[in-house]
Chains A and B, each alone.
Chain A
Amino acid sequence: MTGPTVRVIPCLDVDRGRVVKGVNFVGIRDAGDPVELAARYDEQGADELVFLDITASSDDRATTVEMARAVAEQVFIPFTIGGGIRSVDDARRLLRAGADKVSINSAAVARPELVSEISAEFGAQCCVVAIDPRRSDATPSGFELFVKGGREATGVDAVEFARLVVSLGAGEIMVNSIDRDGTRDGFDIEMTRAISDAVDVPVIASGGVGGVEDFAPGATEAGATGLLAASIFHFGESTVAEVKRALAVAGVRVRPPE
């Protein structure tokens, strides 16, 4: 039997339409240009891209829509935009500009119906819900939902919340472990497994990757079919192609790099 093909997904932070956090490719002309960076990741064999919009002011978010349009005109792999999406109109602007999916986070916690609204309007396939759980004694599963970049507890059980948003129409769940974020200790296997066992939609593991060997357990042990990382790609430590070769060696099915 042929198992799932696992997707390798670089994540880029974007502020006012520009990529931030020192991307370090050889020979890059403009390290802040989302189109050029997206094209580089496409060449390396990235299966999808995620742009995380960290623009502080909603007045400046029009630049994110313009960025989506520019990327869609030049880069022909699926991409998701997350951050700052609070309404169906926000989602519509990004999807009409050419984004394939939108990822909602805090807004889904504040108002879960937003998930069903976006899903009903555009289809579950473009509605990703990103959650930021952290270990806690406050909730039954031991994983509590946090917001505001992991700073603010909600008292909501992360596993229950994942079930809820899937029932409302989320097509995919991105699990960003606050416990592992930035640690370089590898994906949070226990937390990601708890979510992937609870829902019947694709799960993306995020947070904690320190090297190419950290990817395979996200699929084989945690049950994720999307594996997301940021810094190891941006700082030129590893290429997507290297990650895919390591995954293939570990027996994980991937689209081979060209």
Chain B
Amino acid sequence: MTAPLLAVLDYGIGNLHSAHQSFNHVGADARLTADPALIADADAVVLPGVGHFGACMRALRASGLDDIAVAAAADDRPFIGICVGMQLLYEDSTEAPGVAGLGILPGTVDRIDTGGDASLVLPQMQWNELDLVGPGVDDPLLDGLEASWMYFVHSYAGPADPDLVTSTCAYGGAVTASVRRGSTWATQFHPEKSARAGLRLLANFVDLARDGVSPGVDDAVAATEASAS
């Protein structure tokens, strides 16, 4: 099998290295890059991010990769945002009022409401169990990952949009753990730090990068399940 080319967007913030190393571990040719030509040639695009929404967004704009990220998310190639890279896809975040996000997904990233449980501190810095919801049940990215455990480090999370949210985890209430819209995916957790379950998710993404995203894939899965039941 050929190794699909993954462009991991390098916009100059701290530790972006483990993402491309782990993609390579599951059969991708992942490159940490800021080169527009290489990003244009890639089979899929990865937007990582750690730390503060405002700092990441400013660094992304300063690098000039913000428009490239928006274009890559809009085309048919698989695109995935990870951790703060997921949060950047929204319109904005209460972590950095006045700083516009990429606006690829609707809504505002907000601080986690732990429901007054004093034993739950922020950040949520722990492993947590995925609950596949709504479109997540048929999502090829989450194939085989119902009730799997992933590593989270975050104080903020995306809105509970039932059309987009594919999995949640429990931290006080249900926290948005992953989303999908068309060929754009995002995970709040760190699959690259989530042992075998995380590597499975990354391998699922590499499969999508290799095979392309069929617009009819959801319909086909739904039809198969309907005929089976």
The yes or no verdict on A and B being binding partners is yes
A interface vs B, CB < 8 Å?
1-7, 42, 47, 72-74, 76-78, 92, 95-100, 121-126, 171-172, 200-202, 223, 225, 255-256, 258
B18-61 CB mask vs A (1 if < 8 Å, else 0) is 10011001000000000000000000000000111001000000
A78-B151, A200-B122, A201-B121 known; A126 and B14 CB under 8 Å?
A: yes
11 further interface pairs, Cβ-Cβ under 8 Å (given A78-B151, A98-B18): A7-B127, A72-B17, A76-B25, A76-B195, A76-B199, A100-B15, A123-B51, A171-B123, A172-B125, A202-B125, A255-B149
- Which B residue sits closest to A78, measured CB to CB? B193
Contacts of A225 in B (CB 8 A): 121, 125-126
Contacts of B115 in A (CB 8 A): 1
Minimum Cβ distance to chain A for residue B185 (Å): 19
Query: What are 27 contact pairs spanning A and B, CB under 8 A?
Result: A3-B117, A3-B119, A4-B119, A7-B126, A7-B127, A47-B126, A47-B127, A47-B151, A72-B18, A77-B151, A77-B194, A77-B195, A92-B14, A95-B14, A99-B15, A121-B14, A123-B14, A123-B50, A126-B14, A126-B15, A126-B50, A172-B125, A202-B126, A225-B125, A255-B129, A255-B149, A258-B196
Contact of A200 among B14, B50, B121, B171 (CB under 8 A): B121
Q: Within 8 Å of chain A (Cβ to Cβ): is B170?
A: yes
Kindly state the separation between the CA atoms of A38 and B50 in the bound complex, as whole angstroms.
23
Contacts of A7 in B (CB 8 A): 126-127
Contacts of A124 in B (CB 8 A): 123
The tally of CB-CB contacts under 8 A between chains A and B is 99
Q: Within 8 Å of chain A (Cβ to Cβ): is B99?
A: no
- Which A residue sits closest to B153, measured CB to CB? A125
Tell me if B's interface is mostly helix, strand, loop or mixed: mixed
Most chain A Cβ neighbours within 10 Å, of B128, B153, B198: B153
User: In the complex, are the beta carbons of A125 and B126 less than 8 A apart?
Assistant: no
Contacts of A72 in B (CB 8 A): 17-18, 21
Tell me if A's interface is mostly helix, strand, loop or mixed: loop
Contacts of B139 in A (CB 8 A): none
A3-B120, A172-B125, A225-B126 known; A96 and B199 CB under 8 Å?
A: no
Kindly state the separation between the CA atoms of A185 and B176 in the bound complex, as whole angstroms.
41
Contacts of A77 in B (CB 8 A): 151, 193-195
B89-123 CB mask vs A (1 if < 8 Å, else 0) is 00000000000000000000000000101011111
Q: Which 5 A-B pairs have the closest CB atoms?
A: A123-B51, A255-B127, A2-B170, A122-B14, A255-B149
Contacts of A171 in B (CB 8 A): 123, 125
User: In the complex, are the beta carbons of A1 and B117 less than 8 A apart?
Assistant: yes
A76-B192, A122-B51 known; A5 and B25 CB under 8 Å?
A: no
B152-179 CB mask vs A (1 if < 8 Å, else 0) is 0100000000000000001110000000
Contacts of B190 in A (CB 8 A): 78
Kindly state the separation between the CA atoms of A126 and B83 in the bound complex, as whole angstroms.
14
- Which A residue sits closest to B198, measured CB to CB? A76
Minimum Cβ distance to chain A for residue B156 (Å): 12
User: In the complex, are the beta carbons of B50 and A97 less than 8 A apart?
Assistant: no
**Which chain B residues (179-211) contact chain A, with CB distance < 8 Å?**
190, 192-196, 198-199
Kindly state the separation between the CA atoms of A172 and B126 in the bound complex, as whole angstroms.
12
Kindly state the separation between the CA atoms of A99 and B16 in the bound complex, as whole angstroms.
10
Kindly state the separation between the CA atoms of A200 and B114 in the bound complex, as whole angstroms.
13
Kindly state the separation between the CA atoms of A121 and B51 in the bound complex, as whole angstroms.
9
Contacts of B125 in A (CB 8 A): 125, 171-172, 202, 225
User: In the complex, are the beta carbons of B127 and A5 less than 8 A apart?
Assistant: yes
Kindly state the separation between the CA atoms of A223 and B121 in the bound complex, as whole angstroms.
11
Most chain B Cβ neighbours within 10 Å, of A4, A122, A201: A4
Kindly state the separation between the CA atoms of A4 and B175 in the bound complex, as whole angstroms.
13
Contacts of A73 in B (CB 8 A): 21, 25
User: In the complex, are the beta carbons of B52 and A123 less than 8 A apart?
Assistant: yes
Kindly state the separation between the CA atoms of A200 and B127 in the bound complex, as whole angstroms.
19
User: In the complex, are the beta carbons of A100 and B120 less than 8 A apart?
Assistant: no
Kindly state the separation between the CA atoms of A76 and B15 in the bound complex, as whole angstroms.
14
